[in-house]
Homo-oligomer: A and B are copies of this chain.
Amino acid sequence: MKIRIGIFGYGNLGRGVELAVRQNADMETVAVFTRRDPSTLKTVTDLPVYAADAVADFRDKIDVMILCGGSATDLPVQTPALAEMFNVVDSFDTHAKIPQHYDAVNAAAEKGKTTALISVGWDPGMFSLNRLYAASILPAGQDYTFWGKGVSQGHSDAVRRIEGVKNAKQYTIPVPAALESVRGGETPALTTREKHTRECFVVAEDGADTARIEREIVTMPNYFADYDTTVHFISEEEFLRDHSGIPHGGFVVRVGKTGAAEENTHVVEYSLKLDSNPEFTASVLVAYARAAARLANEKQYGCKTVFDIPPAYLSPVSGEELRRTCL
């Protein structure tokens, strides 16, 4: 019997989950839940769509609910609420608030006797895993995480809120010299400015003061002031042609030392180059949904993260076959 998936929230991420489930023969999506009027929502593959309020009726019809809302306001409420009723997987990515999210979700999952996996994706997620593995193997060492080249949704939104900006996209870009230094086995102390640059492509409203817009961007506290930022004003046509995608990626590098006098250097690098950030994140969520279903079958309830999940649980392939073909 297939693992029955529910999708809670249908934006880019929910759409990505819909498509990713299709690539896994042991799963099927049985329902999409939305806070919009369900009759107005048509999914890529014409899935049944229900009102979010109706979700409790599906307790026996869904094995794992994949939450596809945002980390700012949706998931802190939705994940604990749904974890009382369903095995859940979310992509909560506000790093500083993970401990309190964990506590809230864990209480709900223990109450509901469900398995809840939080902060699944690539950062947090695959990047975190690689930080953990490399640090555990090479305790004498230093970690570096670089993001990009890719679109930062939060920074793009911040630019779009500036008066006179019609549309905007912000790319985060690792500084090549910093990345090369680390890859070469050096362990430099890098400032924020030395690790990443930011590049903005802006469509200005007709007659807008582009000098003021540029100044407002590059001096914006938290978002841009600590970075070297380049601003390009482009036409709407060019924007739609060249900047419609949501690519992202990045690098996790650990430089570690071993030997009697720590004379040997090892460089461990994990990198992602993603055409579609939400589709890749969705693919990670779907693989972990398989793990959630297995853990729930074993009555391993409560809140867990990628750190707690045996890698084999992500795969539809048996342990025996994995040892034979993949080890």
Which of B269, B276, B284 contacts A271 (CB under 8 A)?
Answer: B269
Total residues of chain A contacting the partner, CB 8 A: 69
Measured between beta carbons, the chain B residues less than 8 angstroms from A324 are 98-99
Tally of this chain's copies: 2
A35 in contact (CB, < 8 A): no
A112 in contact (CB, < 8 A): no
A307 in contact (CB, < 8 A): yes
1/0 per residue, CB under 8 A from B, across A126-156: the answer is: 1011111101111110000000000000000
List residues of chain A with CB under 8 Å of any chain B CB. 16, 19-20, 23-24, 44, 95, 98-99, 102, 119, 124, 126, 128-133, 135-140, 183, 185, 256, 258-260, 264-276, 279-280, 282-284, 287, 290, 305-312, 314-316, 319-320, 322-324, 326-327
Inter-chain pairs besides A136-B311, A306-B327, 19 sampled, C-beta below 8 Å: A19-B258, A98-B323, A99-B323, A99-B324, A131-B326, A132-B314, A132-B326, A133-B311, A136-B287, A137-B284, A185-B273, A258-B275, A266-B276, A267-B274, A269-B269, A269-B272, A307-B326, A309-B311, A310-B310
